[in-house]
Structure 1
Amino acid sequence: MDLVKRTIHMDQVKCSANAQMTIEDDINITDSRPDVYQLVTEQGNVDVEEMRAVEDHVRIKGTLKFQVLYISDEEIHRPACMEGSLPFEEQVYLNGVSSSDSVTVRAMLEDLSVGMINSRKLSVQALVDLNLSVEKVEEIEAAVGIDGEETVEMKTAPLQALDLVIAKKDIFRVRQDLELPGGMPNVFHLLWQTCSLKEMSCRAQDEKLALEGEISLFILYEGEGEERPDVWYEASVPVRGAVECQGMREGMLENIRFGIGHQELEVKADADGEERKISLDLVLDLDMKLYEEIRVETISDLYGVDREIEAVRQPGCCKQLLTKNTGKTKVSGRFSVGTGLPKMQQICGSFGEIQMGAVEPCPEGLKLTGAISVRALYTTQDPDLPFYCLKDSLPFSYIMEVPQARQDCRYEIEPALEQLTISMLDSEEADGKAMLSFQGMVCEVHEEPMVTSVNVSDLDPEKLSALPGIVAYIVKDGDSLWSIGKKYYVPVARMKEMNDLTSEEVKAGDKILVVKGWN
C-alpha cells in the first residue's frame, strides 16, 4: 500500500543577518571640472558586484557611486556636477551559511555626506545597510490518498498552505523619449539628474506578469544662449508592459520587489536638429515570487480493517497567508532654512527616500515606523550662490491591519513614495506633504505532525481473538466513532448504518452496538 502525496513548495529563510558598514575617502575634483565654491547636494547608490560565501561568513565586493552638485568658483558662479565612485570590500558574519549557499544581499544607502576640504578635494562618507539572507525551498509531501487493495479507514483534515510556484529574477526595460516644452531653451549641457520609482503595481496573468507604474524624472541643465540660463525640467514617465514568465497563471499571489538598475539619460537632437529630446533608457530589476493558495484534504489518521496499519508521522511546516494588502498614509511637516544659509527664492524640485525603521506586531496588526529623507533644491537671491538645497526628514508611523497577527509572523513590506510636494511658505520656511504606500505580505508558519508513510502487517491472531464479536459499547468522554472503530477494527460507515446514525457525532453515555464483521 502506498500513499498518494501532494508536493507543496515552501520558501524558508535558512539564515539571515543585518550589518552596517562605513565607506569613506577623500576624492580629488577631476581636471575637467571647475573648482568648488560651495557644495549644494549629493546623491548615490550602492552596487553589489560580487559576493562569496564561506563558512559562517560572506565576502562582499561592490562600488559606491555618487554625484555631487556644487557651485563653481569661477568669474560667474554656476552649478556644476562631479561624479565618482569608491570601491569597497566587506566581510559579514552570517551564522549557518556554507560555501554552497546562494546568498541574497540588499545594500541600501542609509546616509551620504560630502564635505569640502578645499576647492579641489572633497571628503565622502557613506553609511550602508546590508541585509543578507539565504533562502531555501523545502518540499512538503502531504498525504492526500491511498493506493492499494487493503480495506482502510481514513480520516482527513483540511490543510491550507502557500505553494511557491515561481521564484526568479528578471528585468523590465523602460525606454522613453521626452520633448522639452516649447518655452524652454535647448540643452547646452546636462548638469544634474534624478530618477526615482513611484508605486508599482503588478498582476499575474497567463504566462506573463503585467506591470504598471510611474518613474519620476528631474533634470537641471544649462541652456543655450548668451546668458546660458540654468533650467530645470520635471516629467513623469509611465511604466506599462509585461514580463514573460512561463508557468504563471492568472490569480496567483504576487510578491515582487522592484528596483532601478542601470539607467542612462542622453540629450538628442529632435527632428529640427535642436538639442531638445531627452532619451531615457532604464532597467527595472524584478525579484519575483509567485504563490498559489491551496486547500487540500490530508490524511490525519488511518487504520486497517483486515490488516494492521500504522501511520508514521513526522513534523512538517506549512506557510499560510494571513493577509496581502496595500495601505497608504499621509505625512506632513514644516522645514526651516538653517541660520546663515541662503534664503529661498523658488523651489526647483523635491526628492525623498524612505528609511524604514522598526516593524513591530501590535494588537491591530503591524506597526511600521521610519522617516522620509527629504531634499528640496531651490534658487536663491544670492548671485554668488544661485542654488542651494534644503535637507530634512519627515517621520512616519503607520499600522497595517493584519488579522490574527502574532509575534512570530513573517512579513515582507515594500514601501513606496507615491507623492512628495514641498511648497514655500516664505523665504525661510517650507511645507512638506507626502503620500506613502505599503505593500505587505504577512504569513505564519504552522508546524504539525504529518503522515509520511504507513507500516502494514498481518493482524495479530491473539489480539484479534481477544476482541468480542459483538459489543454494546457505552461512549465515554473523549470517544468518537473513529476511536471506537479503530479499537475494534470496524469501519465507521458500518457502525453508523448498524446504529441508524446520520452523523459521526456521539456523546458520553450513548450506547453503540459494535459488530465485528457485520455486513
Structure 2
Amino acid sequence: MIELINDYVKMTKVILVPPSRSVYEHDCIVPDALPDMLKVLVADGVSTVDRVSVMKDQVTVDFSIQYRILYLADNAEASIKSFSTTANHSATFDAPEADSNTECRVECIIEHTEHTYINSRKLAFRTVVKIEPELYNTEEKGITAGLDGLDDIQAQRKTFRISSVCRTENANLSISDVIEIPSGKAPVLDLLRTDARLSDVNFSVDDEKVQVKGFLNICALYVADDANQTTQVLENQIPFTQNLQIEDDEPGVTYDVKTNISNFRADVVEDADGDKRMLALDANIDFLLSGYVTKECEVLTDAYSLTKNFDLDYEVIDTPLKIGEMATQFVLKEIVSKSDEDPSMSEVINVNGTIGQADVIVEDGVVTVEGFVFCNVLYISNDPESPIASFTQQIPFTQTFDRNFDVENPDVKAKLDISHTSYSILSGQELELRIAISVKLDVACINHINTIVEARMPEEADKDFTNRPSILLYVVQPGDTLWKVAKRYSAPLNILQNVNNLANPDVLRPGQKLLIPT
C-alpha cells in the first residue's frame, strides 16, 4: 500500500470567475416639484455595490446606479435645475466550489452612460457596467511532497512560489466637516450637485500599523444668490488619515489597501449671520486591508516504481502569486471642440471628467493600458436663448509601462483615477484640457499546481520484465524528456543520466540516442 506524505501549508485557492460587461436600462422622471426640461446639460451615473451574496457554486451582486441630471429649465428664467434618481440591479455569476465561507471582493465600474431625451419630463438611460468578482478560499491544505510504502520510488518534484492571504481587515472612516464659501463669492441659492473623489492615497507600514493618508476632494456646483443667479463652483480638499492595526502579523507580509467612498452627503447651512455660505459635508470612506505571505512550496508532481505498477490521481489547485505593484501618473492633454450647433463659449463653469472603459494588454513584458476619458464641459455662452450650455467629449488614451515581471501570463489589474483637471480657453469654439490620471498596476499570476491526491496500486502490481533485454537503445522523439523516458522503461533516473553522460538532463534533442539499462 502506498501512502501520501503531505506537507500542510496555508494556501489561497482562487475561484476563477470571468468579469461581466452588460448594458442596464433605466428611465428617469423629473420630480413633480421641478419645472420641465428644455435641455440636458449633464447626465451621468455613480455605481455602488450594496450587497454580495455567496452561496454554493454561485455569487450574486446587488448594486445600484445613482443617476444625476443637470438641466436647463423650460421657464422664463431659463434657470438650471438638478435631480437624481437611483436604479437597483443585480447580477449572478457561476462560481464552482464557492460556498458561504468564500471571501469575495467585487469591482463595479460604470464604463459608459448615454441617455435619450424622451420628452420634457423623461430621460431613458443605457449604462455599460463592468462587474468583476474576485473569489478565493484560504485554508490549511495538505500538499503531497512524497510517497511512502515502496523502497524504489522515483520522484519528480517542482518548487512553486505561492502567496496566501494572511489578513483581511475592513475599516470605515467617517468625515464630517464644514467648508465656507470664500468672501468673494455670493451665498448659495440652490445647490445643484456635489462630487467627491479620493486622491493621492498612499500608505506606510511599521511594526504595529498600516497608516493610510490621502485627500477627499470636493467640487460643488451651485446657483448663487446674486442679481444674475450665476452658476458658481466651489472646490475644497480635506486630508484624512486612517490607522489599521497589524501588530500580530508574521514577518515578511506584503500589504495592499483599497479605498472607496461608500457614502457622501452635502447640505447647505447658514453661517452666524444667517447667510447660506457654508456646506456641511458627511462622508464615509471604506478601507480594505489585505496581507499576503509568499512562500516556497515543494510539490510531488509525478512518481513511479522500478518494480511495481500504480496509478496517480491529481487535483489542480489555482493559487495566486503576488508579483508586485506599480504606481505612476500621467497627464492627458487634448484640444476639444464644441459642435457647430452649440453656442460659443464665453466662460467655462466646470469640467467634469470620468474614466470610461479601460483595458490592459500584456505583450512581451510590456503593459499597455488603453481607455477613454469622458469630459463634460459646462460653460456660459453669449446666446440669450441658451445662456448655459454644455458638451461632452470622449478622449482616448494609451499608456505603456515597459517592465519585465519575469513570469508567464501575468495577471495585471489597473486602477485609474482622475487626480486633477485644468483647462485653457483657446477660442469660443475650443479649449485645451489637461487631465492628470493616476494609475496603479497590481501584478500577480495564477499558479496551476497539479498535485497528487491519491496513489492506487492494483492487486497484481508486479511489473513484467520477461523477455526484456538487459540494455535498450532508444532514439529520442520530439517532446521527450529524460523523466518521461525513464518512467516509460522503469529505469532509475540517476543511472540513466550517468550512463549517457548527460551534463544537462533537462535538455534532450530529437534523434539523440540513449542507452537504457534494465
Does the alignment reach a TM-score above 0.5?
yes
Which one of 16, 19, 27 corresponds to residue 18 of structure 2?
16
Indicate yes or no: 2:405 matched with 1:383.
no
Q: Structure 1 counterpart of 2:428, which letter?
A: S
Match in the other structure for 1:136: 136
Indicate yes or no: 2:79 matched with 1:78.
yes
Q: Contact 2:177/2:281 (CA < 8 Å) preserved in 1?
A: yes
Match in the other structure for 1:467: none
Q: 1:395-447 CA distances to partner (integer Å, 9 max, x unpaired)? A: 11122334256663323221222232232111100112223222122222334
2:315 & 2:327 partners in 1: Cα distance? 34
SS in 2 for 1:34: coil
SS in 1 for 2:238: strand
Q: Contact 1:13/1:133 (CA < 8 Å) preserved in 2?
A: no
Paired residues for 1:55-454 under 5 Å: 61-85=62-86, 87-90=87-90, 92=92, 94=94, 96=96, 100=100, 104-119=105-120, 121-133=121-133, 135-139=135-139, 140-141=141-142, 159-244=160-245, 247-248=248-249, 252-295=253-296, 317=317, 318-404=319-405, 408-448=409-449
1:376 & 1:451 partners in 2: Cα distance? 61
* Change in CA separation of 1:110 and 1:443 when aligned onto 2, cut-off 3 Å: closer
State the Cα distance separating 1:93 from its structure 2 match. 5.5
Q: Structure 2 counterpart of 1:230, which letter?
A: T
Bigger mean CA deviation after superposition, 57-66 or 357-366: 57-66
Q: 1:439-493 CA distances to partner (integer Å, 9 max, x unpaired)? A: 12222233456688999xxxxxxxxxxxxxxxxxxxxxx89xxxxxxx99xxxxx
2:56 & 2:500 partners in 1: Cα distance? 59
Match in the other structure for 1:32: 33
SS in 1 for 2:355: strand
1:247 & 1:61 partners in 2: Cα distance? 34
Q: 1:285-306 CA distances to partner (integer Å, 9 max, x unpaired)? A: 334422123346789999xxxx
* Change in CA separation of 1:135 and 1:266 when aligned onto 2, cut-off 3 Å: same
Structure 1 unaligned residues grouped into runs of 5+: 147-153, 303-309, 456-477, 480-486, 489-504, 511-519
* Change in CA separation of 1:361 and 1:212 when aligned onto 2, cut-off 3 Å: same
Larger radius of gyration: 1
1:21 & 1:60 partners in 2: Cα distance? 15
Q: Structure 2 counterpart of 1:94, which letter?
A: D
1:156 & 1:48 partners in 2: Cα distance? 44
Q: Structure 1 counterpart of 2:378, which letter?
A: L
Q: Structure 2 counterpart of 1:340, which letter?
A: E
* Change in CA separation of 1:407 and 1:397 when aligned onto 2, cut-off 3 Å: farther
1:6 & 1:103 partners in 2: Cα distance? 24
Bigger mean CA deviation after superposition, 163-172 or 250-259: 250-259
* Change in CA separation of 1:299 and 1:55 when aligned onto 2, cut-off 3 Å: closer
Q: Contact 1:322/1:405 (CA < 8 Å) preserved in 2?
A: no
Q: Structure 2 counterpart of 1:433, which letter?
A: R
* Change in CA separation of 1:157 and 1:281 when aligned onto 2, cut-off 3 Å: same
Q: Structure 2 counterpart of 1:331, which letter?
A: L
State the Cα distance separating 1:43 from its structure 2 match. 2.5
Q: Contact 1:322/1:403 (CA < 8 Å) preserved in 2?
A: no
If the length of structure 1 is used for normalisation, what is the TM-score? 0.74
Q: Contact 2:15/2:97 (CA < 8 Å) preserved in 1?
A: no
State the Cα distance separating 1:283 from its structure 2 match. 1.5
RMSD across aligned C-alpha pairs, in angstroms? Answer: 4.6
State the Cα distance separating 1:61 from its structure 2 match. 4.7
Q: Contact 1:371/1:395 (CA < 8 Å) preserved in 2?
A: yes
Total equivalences in the alignment? 470
Q: Structure 2 counterpart of 1:361, which letter?
A: V
Match in the other structure for 1:458: none
Bigger mean CA deviation after superposition, 45-54 or 278-287: 45-54
* Change in CA separation of 1:178 and 1:112 when aligned onto 2, cut-off 3 Å: same
Q: Structure 2 counterpart of 1:232, which letter?
A: V
Q: Structure 2 counterpart of 1:122, which letter?
A: K
Q: Contact 2:112/2:356 (CA < 8 Å) preserved in 1?
A: no
SS in 1 for 2:345: coil
1:142 & 1:403 partners in 2: Cα distance? 30
Q: Contact 1:347/1:423 (CA < 8 Å) preserved in 2?
A: no
State the Cα distance separating 1:337 from its structure 2 match. 0.9
State the Cα distance separating 1:385 from its structure 2 match. 2.5
Q: 1:170-216 CA distances to partner (integer Å, 9 max, x unpaired)? A: 33333332222221122233122222233422334445432122233
Q: Contact 1:363/1:405 (CA < 8 Å) preserved in 2?
A: no
| Identity %, equivalent residues | 15
Q: Contact 1:40/1:389 (CA < 8 Å) preserved in 2?
A: yes
Q: 1:35-58 CA distances to partner (integer Å, 9 max, x unpaired)? A: 323221122223444565678776
Q: 1:220-258 CA distances to partner (integer Å, 9 max, x unpaired)? A: 223334544432212223233324467457863233333
1:58 & 1:300 partners in 2: Cα distance? 33
Q: Contact 1:37/1:71 (CA < 8 Å) preserved in 2?
A: yes
SS in 2 for 1:16: coil
Match in the other structure for 2:464: none
Q: Structure 2 counterpart of 1:241, which letter?
A: Q
SS in 2 for 1:185: coil
2:76 & 2:168 partners in 1: Cα distance? 57
* Change in CA separation of 1:167 and 1:34 when aligned onto 2, cut-off 3 Å: same
Q: Structure 2 counterpart of 1:7, which letter?
A: V
1:271 & 1:345 partners in 2: Cα distance? 36
* Change in CA separation of 1:98 and 1:2 when aligned onto 2, cut-off 3 Å: closer
1:195 & 1:45 partners in 2: Cα distance? 11
Q: Structure 2 counterpart of 1:175, which letter?
A: S
* Change in CA separation of 1:214 and 1:454 when aligned onto 2, cut-off 3 Å: same
Match in the other structure for 1:497: none
State the Cα distance separating 1:117 from its structure 2 match. 3.7
State the Cα distance separating 1:169 from its structure 2 match. 3.9
Structure 2 unaligned residues grouped into runs of 5+: 148-154, 304-309, 457-481, 484-490, 503-518
